[in-house]
């Protein structure tokens, strides 16, 4: 599969899942637009490294995904957007009656509303090009729920719904929209949580992973950023041209329970 000549915009992509997705798309030949809310030299260095290693054009554009105008400006500044990967997200955990209103607003804005704004800005570009792929990184929590994650679960369910609407509105065009629903993915952020969790529960690393972090993931194995990126490459391929409006679970059997 080659994505030569295509430009992929990936939100929240200077680390973790977003960066993993960007690298896999670059390996397939796509030009890359990275994004996060910071604007540091090291952010731009990541783009330079991708361009050098994979022989594609890559650049970094800072934009705050909590602000609709900046979401839309990201797409406008990218210029081209054949593949849009809505990945930006944050988490906050609290009981509903104790959930701070500002945290609710932030989670909804970054995890869900940003995908609406970027999609709204990208669809005219895709239509003009006669081709497009919208790929939303949702979550197993877009299909099921957990206590104390009201904003995150609501946002990810919303992303799945937005994906379906986008697919229906573009069904007769050469544009598809799909959502990937990962379970727990091994990212630097998750890796950093393991030592503290080991100390909290008095468990060794393997036990913490199996019994705490992956309690709801029947495979007892993390998904990887490479697997998510490979799925994005597949969804951008001609093989997936008639896949639209659906969810792909990469959750080790979580939602089969």
Catalytic site includes residue 54: no
Residue 202 — left, alpha, or beta (φ > 0 → left; ψ -120 to 50 → alpha)?
left
Cα separation, 23 vs 185, whole angstroms: 16
Helix (H, G, I), strand (E, B) or coil at 251: coil
Tokens at residue 244, please?
């639209």
Cα separation, 226 vs 72, whole angstroms: 28
Q: Which residues contact 35 (CB under 8 A, 6 or more apart)?
A: 9, 10, 11, 12, 13, 14, 18, 60, 61, 62, 63, 65, 74, 88
Of 54, 152, 184, 201, the active-site residue reads 152
Residue 182, exposed/middle/buried by CB under 10 A (0-12, 13-18, 19+)?
buried
Partners of 180 in the beta sheet?
137, 248
Residue 20, exposed/middle/buried by CB under 10 A (0-12, 13-18, 19+)?
buried
Burial 57-85 (b: 16+ CB within 10 A, else e): ebbbbbbbbbbbebbbbbbeebebbbbbb
Longest dimension (CA), the chain: 57
Provide the edge-to-edge strand list for the sheet that holds 58-62. 58-62, 31-36, 7-10, 83-86, 132-137, 175-182, 247-250
Q: Point out the residues that are catalytic.
A: 152
């Amino acid at each position: 599969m080659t994505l030569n000549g295509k430009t992929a915009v990936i939100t929240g992509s200077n680390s973790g899942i977003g960066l993993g997705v960007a690298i896999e798309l670059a390996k397939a030949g796509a030009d890359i637009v990275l994004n996060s809310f910071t604007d540091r030299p090291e952010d731009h260095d990541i783009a330079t490294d991708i361009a050098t290693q994979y022989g594609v054009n890559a650049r970094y554009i800072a934009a705050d995904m909590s602000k609709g105008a900046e979401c839309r400006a990201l797409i406008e500044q990218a210029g081209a957007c054949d593949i849009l990967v809505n990945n930006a997200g944050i988490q906050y955990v609290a009981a509903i009656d104790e959930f701070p209103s500002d945290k609710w607003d932030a989670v909804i804005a970054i995890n869900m509303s940003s995908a609406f704004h970027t999609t709204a800005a990208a669809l005219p570009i895709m239509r003009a090009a006669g081709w497009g792929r919208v790929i939303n990184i949702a979550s197993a929590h877009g299909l099921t729920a957990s206590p104390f994650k009201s904003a995150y679960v609501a946002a990810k369910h919303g992303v799945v719904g937005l994906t379906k609407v986008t697919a229906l509105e573009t069904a007769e065009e050469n544009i598809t929209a799909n959502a990937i629903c990962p379970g727990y993915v091994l990212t630097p952020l998750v890796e950093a949580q393991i030592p503290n969790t080991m100390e909290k529960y008095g468990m060794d690393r393997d036990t913490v992973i199996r019994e705490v972090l992956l309690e709801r993931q029947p495979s007892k194995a993390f998904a990887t950023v490479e697997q998510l990126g490979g799925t994005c490459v597949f969804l951008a391929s001609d093989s997936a041209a008639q896949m639209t409006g659906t969810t792909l679970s990469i959750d080790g059997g979580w939602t089969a329970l």
